[in-house]
Amino acid sequence: MADAQTHAGALVFVAAGEFVVGCVHLTDTVRPSAPAALARLRAMGILTLLASGDREASVTPVARAL
């Protein structure tokens, strides 16, 4: 778990009763059409921003891909 804190994504724990029985690591995927869509918006003079409540380690790879 400590290693996961430095990687992109989020950990989701699964419980049964009072016991943790699993853990899932979720990550974001940028749609292939997203960079072109953002480029079109910027060409139209529309300011684009990325706002997120996620950790910086999760948001940075998405921001770089866009």
**Residue pLDDT tens, the chain, 66 long:** 666 666 677 788 999 999 999 988 888 888 999 999 999 999 999 999 989 888 787 788 888 888
Contacts of 56 (CB under 8 A, 6+ apart): none
Distance CA 66, CA 56 (A): 15
Predicted TM-score (pTM) above 0.85? no
CA angle 49, 51, 54 (to 5 degrees): 145
Distance CA 21, CA 2 (A): 18
pLDDT of residue 57: 79
pLDDT of residue 3: 66
